Amino acid sequence: MRKLYILVPKIIYSFPVQLFFNNIKRNIVLMICWIILFAMITGNFGKYLGIPYLFLDPEYLNHVGFTSFLIMGLLTAGFTMAFHITCYISDGHRFTFVGTLARPFRKFLINNSLFPILFLITYLYEVIAFQINNEHSTAKELTIYILGFATGYVLMTLMFTLYFRFTNKDIFKYMVCRIDEKLKQNVQVTRASVMRKLDIARKKQIRVEYYLDNRLRVNKVTDTSFYDKAMIIQVFDQNHFNLVIIEVLIFTFVLLLGIFKDYPIFQLPAAASFMIFLTIFVMIFGAFSYWFGGWSSTMALVAFLAINHLVGEDYFTKKYEAFGLDYQETPVPYTVDALKHQADSAIMEQDRQATLVQLNNWRKKFKEKPKIVFLCASGGGKRAALWTLNSLQYADSISQGKLMENAVLITGASGGLIGASYFRELKLRKLLGEPVHPYSHRHRIKISSDNLNPLIFSLLANDLFVGFTKFQYAGVHYEKDRAYTFEDQLNRITLGYLDKPITDYARYEKQGIIPLTILTPTVVNDGRKIYIASRPVSFMNYEKEKGYDASKISGIDFQRFFRDHGAQQLRFLSALRMSATFPYITPNTSLPTDPTIQIMDAGISDNFGLSDAVRFLYAFKDWADENTSGVIFVSIRDSPKLREITTATGSTIVDDLTQPISSVYSNFENFQDITSDLLIGEAHSWLKNRIDRIDIQYQAENYVPILQQMDSIRQNNARASLSWRLTTREKEGIVNNIYSERNQQQIRLLKDLLN
């Protein structure tokens, strides 16, 4: 008991423990950074969006291996060093005994390594568990990954060690070779910082009795009272100045990466980009602490408010453009009168008659009255893109091509519309005689490949810091921003097939060879839709009540509204990008209107595309009754229609405060399903022909029982993540889910209806 009584104070007043307490007390911002990282790698933050996979399965040049983990090791060590630097700058003067030791920063770093060591242990454990459970990695592959990470971490640490060895002075060297005081005297803020730290060194020291040396041996703190406090503080300050130089070099490195971001070799893994972002954030925090001391939080708030105001005044506002549109033309007035004009009954009838040409040509392909098919693909990032492509490949193959032959319209949102558009393009090229195999597994591999790394890297290295590189499309120059990066990656994974103006599809759609595709992104300003197609489709507002002037008007026709801005030259990839605006990842697109409108994901208004299909059918209900034997809505969903109702559990105070908002968000798809069911239910009253519904849905929980036995990242969440990045196991689960009993039953029903 006596030994314990003696041991406890030694532990409590040891340097590592006191630094731990000091960080929790004074460096809450740094602690939040570590908490975020811990939450990400353990799956407690961003699991639904697939964020943990970015850390546990980093991809570089479309490959996970030694190099990708080497980069992660390098940048993890960089963030760790930024953490140590910031702590040293902020609080080193509270432990003046360190300034009396040889190589003070190294001693400080060793004793301040509790959080970094815990993170490394947790990270390596999660990597091993994830790779075994999700990527089926072998022992050899795991060894390579861990070796790569360790090599990167050690290399970066050695580089910092060498720099500090030749630049940072300890008090003994300082007595022989004094630093240049003229620099300090000329910078008043720095002198004030030194005087403040000197006052703390004299009056507000933190009690420390033991510390760890370079060999991890326990040493007792010796009496430092005979040292000149001012000289010790100047040692700290000289060290701080060298550390700030490191921060400037890292910041410059990021700027250089932005210049060469279009070269794949410079596109770092997404998690590595996030580590750079955190490193810069920590460095800025350290710089504020260095220059402003106790006023750092206040000055940071003032700086944020000032920048926020300037952004609100459009000084730093970044506008992402739709490629193909000419933004130099006078903006189109976006007013109620303009909306009413383009929804005029005569204009809608003109567009309806043009589309009747397509429908009549489609009807000529059949001897008897055929079933008319509407393909509706739900959004859901990369998950929905792969699921939709896989479902269409399988269903069209089983029906011997009749599914696409009978389809007249494709609607939907986000990733689902990307998958459907890609399959439509493959079928078109096959019909035109090109050596394309629409059902090939190769296309599933391509469309499921990573999109996220280049996007995250572009967000860091270009959108935040550099934005001066440009490219030309349709005779107009645009910035190579994050929107360009998304389209460039989408173009690569679709083999360049979709890189064309949207109007290139008009003649094939008009001939009835392929179904018309209508994209419906949402206007941020007022929630209306923008109907984007290869030709004007203003008849999508056909439900407008006659004689009622206050009709809301559901959307605007893109081709008519932006006719003078080159709407016909709109890049089809840009249309897909506008329809797939993933929050915080894919940027909102600005259109040339007055006032400027921004575009967000089509899934906000209708994630399943069913309401748009009903609108189309309503505009041609008389033609459908006369020329078809029935209507089939084929809904390809990346989520189950009838979900299990979750059991309500005890709610916290935070739950009670957030419940009104969180309930709306969590039930968003349910609201849309109820609305779609209502619209289709009402369609029975104005359509004489029979209406059938086919739901092909991704519901992984019911298909692979083994998925219940998972690592912590995937426990109780067998569904693939909503992200632009999928793991190997997720890809396998999505592709194989087409063979579930329910989907097989729905596809057999579809085949019977088409026959």
- Residue-wise DSSP of 284-345: HHHHHHHHHGGGHHHHHHHHHHHHHHHHHTTSS---BPPBTB-TTSPPEE-SHHHHHHHT-H
370 in the same domain as 226: no
Task: Indicate whether 232 and 367 sit together in one domain.
Answer: no
Domains held by the chain: number: 2
Same domain? 208 vs 356: no
Both tokens of residue 712?
A: 């912590």
Are 98 and 247 contained in the same domain? yes
Query: Does residue 452 form part of some domain?
Result: no
Pairing of strands 630-637, 691-697: parallel
β-pairing, 476-479 vs 470-473, is: antiparallel
CA 755/CA 753 separation, integer angstroms: 5
Same-domain check for residues 378 and 512:
yes
Q: Is 650 part of a structural domain of the chain?
A: no
What global pTM score does this model have? 0.82
- The pair of three-digit structure tokens given for residue 80, joined into one six-digit string: 């760790």
Does any domain span residue 462? Answer: no
Task: Return d(Cα 351, Cα 2) in angstroms, integer.
Answer: 92
Cβ(340)–Cβ(603) below 8 Å: no
pLDDT for res 185: 45
178 secondary structure, DSSP code: -
DSSP 135-156: S---HHHHHHHHHHHHHHHHHH
Chosen domain end from 290, 320, 355: 290
In 3D, which of 361, 401, 358 has the Cα closest to residue 518? 358
How far is Cα 251 from Cα 248, in angstroms, rounded to an integer?
Answer: 5
Strand 555-557, strand 529-531: pairing: parallel
Within a domain: residue 173? Answer: yes
State how far the Cα of 160 lies from the Cα of 617, in Å rounded to an integer.
66
Whether 558 maps to a domain, the answer reads yes
The count of C-alpha atoms lying within 13 angstroms of the C-alpha of 253, restricted to the half-sphere facing its C-beta, is 15
Q: What is the reported pLDDT for 429?
A: 96
Q: Which pLDDT value is given to residue 227?
A: 45
Domain shared by 242 and 341, yes or no = no
What is residue 608's predicted lDDT score, i.e. its pLDDT? 93
Q: Are residues 691 and 597 in the same domain?
A: yes
Q: Is 726 part of any domain?
A: no
pLDDT at 582: 74
Q: How far apart are CA 49 and CA 52, in angstroms?
A: 8
In a 10 Å sphere around its CB, with 0-12 CB exposed, 13-18 middle and 19+ buried, how is residue 579 labelled? buried
Report the alpha-carbon distance of residue 591 to residue 598 in Å, rounded.
6
In this prediction, the residues of the chain whose per-residue pLDDT falls under 70 are 1-9, 48-49, 99-100, 166-205, 223-244, 246-247, 250-251, 254-262, 290, 293-294, 297, 308-317, 451-453, 459-468, 543-550, 583-584, 646-666, 700-724
Q: Please, are residues 154 and 76 in contact by the beta-carbon 8 Å criterion?
A: no
Asked if 444 contacts 237 with a C-beta cutoff of 8 angstroms, the reply is no
Please compute Rg for the chain using Cα positions.
31
Model pLDDT, residue 432 = 95
- d(CA 357, CA 510) in angstroms, rounded, equals 6
Q: Is residue 706 part of a domain?
A: no
| Residue 490, both tokens | 């989408």
- What is the rounded CA–CA span in Å between residue 720 and residue 726? 7
Domain containing 400: what range? 332-441+498-640+666-698+738-754
